[in-house]
Structure 1
Amino acid sequence: MKCWELQGPGGIDALALVDKPVPQPGRGEVLVRLTAASINYRDLLTVRGGYGSRQKFPLVPLSDGAGIVEAAGEGVAAFTAGDRVTGSFFESWTGGEPSETKMRAALGGAVDGALTEYRIFPAHALVKTPAHLSDIEAACLPCAGVTAWSAVMKLGGIRPGQTVLTQGTGGVSIFALQIAKMAGARVISTSSSEEKIERLRALGADVTLNYKTTPDWGKKAREITGQGVDLVVEVGGVGTLNESIRATKIGGTIAFIGVLAGAPASELRLPLMVMQQQRLQGVTVGSVDDLQAFAHALAQHQARPVVDRVFAFADAREAFHYMSSGAHFGKVAIAIGE
């Protein structure tokens, strides 16, 4: 089989296409012929060498993959050859509260990921792909999709009539917009591109703000709602946190996910967060149960991920470069095999 490996420091140029034997499943394991994968910003950081000390070399990158069961090992009853399946980001976090042990085995980081033609998965780390989704679409769910699900539903607890603010047009933000609309919430979305803003409106954004022409978008969001938003899906990090604090209502939540915006332009408004009793909630993907819940919700609403562009397996380096450009709207995916 062929797979891509990050063979050492050096970024995208250190990715190499190599040959390996097809592995065989042991007890409780499933051999999956992967047909699709997707790239997250986390994967780009990993390839660049900026995602923590657990990274190993050589490393098969990408956390998100979907495909078809090739063979099931002894003791596996839930899956048979031919089943379409999607792998979970954390192989050991099946459900319940997070822990160091549960979050240790993250695909494409601590363990080899999905940019390969075949991979062994523990049976408990797989869910059946919703019938209405293609494998390309299913491969977009495990990291960005479950992160957004956790931020909006599991940890954010959004209910009909509440207001959610999303930032930008990356995978997590687009998923968060879709999930919030499924939950009956009002959505305010930001972008620096008028073209992308039109696409956000087409996806259901109730209010859009251009953060270049409206740099005080947090203040504007508070004015629009009259009291502030119930939840901000914060993907910018400390660079956008001040405006997120301004946007959030008293008692509201900021789901803190990303690091896209760099350092803050001024001192953080932490006293305002304290005085307004806001909650800063860290979000790191979720469990297999969360992936299953998200898959059920997509099936119920017949909703689909927004896929910006699909690259061939041989063009994986180009896919990473495209992700790095920031030009995408939604997810960047890779088709594996024929």
Structure 2
Amino acid sequence: MRSYHLTSGGGLDGLSIREHEDPVPGPGQVLVAVRATSLSFRELLVLRGEYVLPVKPDVVPISDGAGEVVAVGPGVRSARAGDRVMGTLFPSWQDGPFAARHLPQLGGSLDGMLTELAVLGEDALVPVPSHLSFEEAATLPCAAVTAWNALTGDGVGLRPGQTLVVQGSGGVSLFALAFAKTLGARVIATTSSPDKAARLAELGADEVIDYRSTPDWPGQVIELTGGRGADRVVDVAGLLERSLRAVTLGGHVACVGFVSESAPPVDPRVLFASGATVRAVAVGSRAQFVAMNRAIEVNRLRPVVDRVFPFDAAADAYRHYASGQAFGKVIIRL
């Protein structure tokens, strides 16, 4: 089999492909023929040496992938050859709150999915929704689960008639938009161009704010909500003070990441005045993944795919994703 390897911080020059003996699954393990993987911002951080969690040397990169079970090890009961499956990003996080023992993650401290054959624990597998292709399913483990957790994982959840703000057109924001519309919410999206604004509207955004022409987008959110503010904001940029200005009193801000090495500090007076809950969201558990898949299957949701690259052109996929030109998920097909 062939696998890609990299050392975090080495950039694309350090991405190499090598041949290995086919692995054999041990007790409780499953051998998966990977059919597709997808890129997320997390993968750029790993590549640049900026990821917040440990990354082992010479790691097989990429957390997100889908494939077909080709063999099972002794004692495996929940999987069999032919099953279409995805791997969970944090394999040991089955349910409940996140804890330090769940830190090992695919494509970081554990080998990931940019390989022709992957060995995964049976507890780390989730079935692919029946209507999705392998390429579509490969987009779910990081961005989609993060979006689902951001909207539902606080014990209250986004409710019909409430207003959600999503930022930009990355994977988390597009999944959050789709889930919010399914949950009956109103969605205000921010973006950087008229073309992207039109596409966001086509995907169901009720209002779209171009933050280049309207730098005070929180003020526009307040205006669009009749002075009340949004019930929830999914903050993918790390600009928490702006999100706090856009949210209603006692609202909820899900902080799912940041796009720059530094961000403006948050004025505690703004936080206090908002009365908002700010929750850091680190993907989600296997139980949340399964619940999300039920919603995807019942509502026949499909991810937004920007472009599919062949396995031998993985470096080109990284370059395209890093360019910031993608609208939707970038996939590598095996």
Q: Secondary structure at the match of 2:52?
A: coil
Return the alpha-carbon distance in structure 1 between the equivalents of residues 283 and 314 of structure 2. Answer: 24
Amino acid aligned to 1:17? I
Look up the match of 1:334: 332
Residues 151 and 158, structure 2, Cα contact 8 Å, conserved in 1: yes
Amino acid aligned to 1:152? L
Look up the match of 1:313: 311
Aligned-pair CA distance for 1:264: 4.3
Q: Check 1:96–1:162 CA distance in 2 against 1; reply closer, same or farther (3 A cut).
A: same
Look up the match of 1:44: 44
1:145 aligns with 2:144: yes
Deviations 1:243-299 (A, max 9, x none): 21110000001100111155446x634312212211111000011111111111100
Q: Check 1:106–1:54 CA distance in 2 against 1; reply closer, same or farther (3 A cut).
A: same
* 1:37-186 equivalence runs, <5 A: 37-52=37-52, 54-102=54-102, 104-155=103-154, 157-186=157-186
Aligned-pair CA distance for 1:326: 0.6
Aligned-pair CA distance for 1:75: 1.3
Q: Secondary structure at the match of 1:42?
A: helix
Deviations 1:225-257 (A, max 9, x none): 0200011000000xx222211100000011001
Q: Check 1:8–1:248 CA distance in 2 against 1; reply closer, same or farther (3 A cut).
A: closer
Return the alpha-carbon distance in structure 2 between the equivalents of residues 321 and 98 of structure 1. Answer: 32
Q: Check 1:67–1:4 CA distance in 2 against 1; reply closer, same or farther (3 A cut).
A: same
Amino acid aligned to 2:135? I
Q: Structure 1 vs Structure 2: percent identity of aligned residues?
A: 45
Amino acid aligned to 1:44? L
Q: CA RMSD in A?
A: 1.2
* 1:209-224 equivalence runs, <5 A: 209-224=209-224
Residues 7 and 47, structure 2, Cα contact 8 Å, conserved in 1: no
Q: Secondary structure at the match of 1:114?
A: coil
Amino acid aligned to 1:315? A
Look up the match of 2:188: 188
Aligned-pair CA distance for 1:54: 1.5
Deviations 1:7-58 (A, max 9, x none): 4642111000111111111111100000000001011110111113611111
Look up the match of 2:249: 250
Look up the match of 1:304: 302
Aligned-pair CA distance for 1:78: 1.3
Q: Check 1:208–1:261 CA distance in 2 against 1; reply closer, same or farther (3 A cut).
A: farther
Q: Secondary structure at the match of 2:115?
A: coil
Q: Check 1:249–1:9 CA distance in 2 against 1; reply closer, same or farther (3 A cut).
A: closer
Return the alpha-carbon distance in structure 2 between the equivalents of residues 125 and 271 of structure 1. Answer: 42
* 1:287-302 equivalence runs, <5 A: 287-302=285-300
Amino acid aligned to 1:108? G
Unaligned runs of 5+ in 2: none
Return the alpha-carbon distance in structure 1 between the equivalents of residues 311 and 6 of structure 2. Answer: 15
Return the alpha-carbon distance in structure 2 between the equivalents of residues 213 and 269 of structure 1. Answer: 25
Q: Secondary structure at the match of 1:101?
A: helix
Amino acid aligned to 1:221? V
Aligned-pair CA distance for 1:64: 0.3
Between 116-125 and 267-276, report the one with greater CA deviation. 267-276
Amino acid aligned to 2:189? S
Return the alpha-carbon distance in structure 2 between the equivalents of residues 8 and 165 of structure 1. Answer: 33
Give the alignment's TM-score, normalised by structure 2. 0.97
What is the number of equivalent residue pairs in this alignment?
Answer: 332
Unaligned runs of 5+ in 1: none
Q: Secondary structure at the match of 1:50?
A: coil
